[in-house]
Structure formats: structure tokens, C-alpha cells
Amino acid sequence: MSETKPKSFGVKLKQFIKSAGIITLILIALFIFFTFMSKKFLTPNNMYNLTRAASIQGIAALGMSICIYVGGIDLTIGSMIGVVTMIIAGLTTTVSGPAIIEFWPLTLPIVLVFGIGIGILSGILINDGGMPPYIVTLSWQMILRAMCQLISNGNVLEKISEGYKTLATSATDIFGIPLMAFVWAVLIVFTWIMLNHMRVGRNIYAVGANAETARLSGISLRRTRCFAWGYSAFLSVVAGILMGARIRSGMPQTATGYEADCIASSVIGGASFSGGEGSVVGTTIGVLILQTLRNGANLLGWNTFIIEMVIGALIVISVLIDGKGKRRES
């Protein structure tokens, strides 16, 4: 096969404006609207809270985007976040005495191995088992959510390490910015570099665009798919670690419905459900749009159910626009 010529800076700039320019304007318009509608919106305290909420969803949405780019979906994200918070809450303890010993760091390798292992297994089932990503990840979603109930017997686990809780307090802020926002920023940069300047990223887009063509060109479908769902699981675990510290407990229903928000962030940001298209920048802006909409609506006292209806409609509209674009190209 002949190698495709690298895209020029001008072409890349046009693609960026086409994919992210409109949604950037939407985000700016939302900020302007809510700033005029509520005096509390642009306050430091509200921006701090908005940033914290966006960070956790943003980390999880990066993983969902990777799975969509490769031509699939990951419905385990919310339940993975939930079970991670339950495992940490269930295993952490504070021993009081002459010295206070914190055991919570020992739980991090456990949840990382647990989560990434499930992600890789999902990739194997999808590739080797020929199972649709929707079925595989939906099954894991049910299993993990049931695990949340089993770990806690349906109760909230409130005995949680004080040291762990500090991850989501001002004590770990960097120049007044939440630690979780810095974690999100680092993961955005790394994921962007991976997708745009590393072989695995090019393989993800190639498999999503046309799996058979990618296979014939020498790309390992198994390795690429296992990486995609494994990386998504890794990001869900990171989001779960931060979520547990933020809510300061383990609750069986934590992050229920997060999958819908992550899908919305991805498709609003330009990801195509047919695979092979999308950008980290677009997903990031999509997350900020959803969180800004929710935050501003809450300040104005709008009905939360109406906001959920709006977000659902945005998903449908984004998919319709993508489908029409595909038909025009074909």
C-alpha cells in the first residue's frame, strides 16, 4: 500500500476549525449567557466547582472517545467508577494511636490492575469472540454494578481514609486550581500525543475507519482493541479514584448514567459512531459544554429533567449530522 502524505498545517487547521470551531463558539455563548443571567456563575467559587465536576467527567470521556474512535463503545465507565470507589472505601482504614497510618495508597495498584484487566478482557472478547462492543460492555456494566452492591451490602461506606479525602480538598490545590484538573490536563495532553504522534493512535483511527483494510495493512486488530478498552478502563479507574475522594465515601450508585454524558461529550465534540474520526480537543470542549450547561441551569433553578432531555437531544442531533455528512461523502 502507498503511504499517505502527511497533512499540511493548513489542512490540519481547517479540520480543527471545522470540528472544534462551532462547538467552541457554543461554549463561549453559554458562558456569556449564564454570566448575564446569574451573578454567581463567573465567581471564583463556582468556577472552582465547575472545574472539579468537569475534570472527573472529562477523564472518563477521553476513554469513551478512544473506544468510539476504534469503532466501538464502552458502557462500563460509570459502573467502573462506582466499583473503584467502593473497593477503595471498603479497603481503606485509619489506624489511630501514637501515629496515624494511612493504607489507602495500597489500594491504588489493586483497582488499577482490576480495572485494566477487565478492559483488556473486553478487548479480547470483542476481537476474538466476535462479540459486539455494546453487548460485552453492557454485561460488564451489570456485573460491576452488582459488585458495588455486594461490597457494601447496599449501604454507603463512610469509613474512609482522611488522607485519601485530601485528594479532593484545597489542601492539594496547585495555585488555587484543583489537583484533579491538573490530572485531567496531563491526560488530555498525553492522549492527544498518543493519538496524533504515536503508532498506536494511528492504528486506533485506522481500525475504526476500516478494520479489514487495517488488518491487511499489518495492523493487529487484537492488540489495538485490547489497548483501546484497556486504556478506557485505566481512565475510568483514575476518574473513580478522584470521584471517591470528592464524595468522601463509597456509594453503590456512584456515577450511574456517566456513560451517557461521556457519549454526549464525544459526539458533540465531533466523534463519529462509525469510527475513525474525532479529536481530544473536541471531546474536551464537549465536556465543558455539558458541565457549563448543568452548572448554569442549576444556578438558575431550571428543571434538571429538562436539561437531561436537552443533552439527549444533542446526542441525536450530533449523530444525525454525522450520518448526513457520511452520506454526502459516499
> What percent of the chain is modeled with pLDDT above 70?
88
pLDDT(326) > 90? no
Residues 243/56, Cβ–Cβ less than 8 Å: yes
- Tens digit of pLDDT for each residue in 71-82? 999 999 999 999
Residues 209/275, Cβ–Cβ less than 8 Å: yes
Q: Give the bridge partners for 95, in sequence order.
A: 101
The residue whose grid cell reads 503508532 is 199
Bigger pLDDT: 72 or 325?
72
pLDDT band at 1 (very low <50, low <70, confident <90, very high): very low
pTM of the model: 0.89
Rounded mean pLDDT of the chain?
86
Judged on CB neighbours under 10 Å (0-12, 13-18, 19+), 202 is middle
Alpha carbon distance 96, 175 (integer Å) = 32
Cell of 203: 492504528
> What percent of the chain is modeled with pLDDT above 90?
59
Alpha carbon distance 165, 131 (integer Å) = 39
Q: 230 to each of 179, 193, 203, 205, 257, how far by Cα in Å?
A: 24, 18, 15, 16, 20
pLDDT at res. 110: 93
Task: Of 309, 258, 284, 211, give the one whose Cα is nearest residue 65.
Answer: 284
Angle formed at CA 86 by CA 224 and CA 120, multiple of 5 degrees = 15
Q: Give the bridge partners for 157, in sequence order.
A: 250
Q: Where are the beta strands (DSSP E) in 28-108?
A: 94-95, 101-102
Alpha carbon distance 247, 260 (integer Å) = 20
- Tens digit of pLDDT for each residue in 264-320? 999 888 888 888 888 999 999 999 999 999 999 999 998 888 888 888 887 787 777
For the chain, give every domain's residue range: 46-255
The residues, any chain, with a CB within 8 Å of residue 282's CB and separated by 6 or more, are 19, 20, 23, 266, 268, 269, 270, 271
- Tens digit of pLDDT for each residue in 216-271? 999 999 999 999 999 999 999 999 999 999 998 888 899 988 898 999 999 888 88
Give the number of other Cβ atoms within 10 Å of residue 105's Cβ: 11
**What is the rounded radius of gyration, in angstroms, for the C-alpha atoms of the chain?**
20
pLDDT at res. 100: 43
Alpha carbon distance 57, 65 (integer Å) = 12
Residues 106/164, Cβ–Cβ less than 8 Å: no
pLDDT band at 99 (very low <50, low <70, confident <90, very high): very low
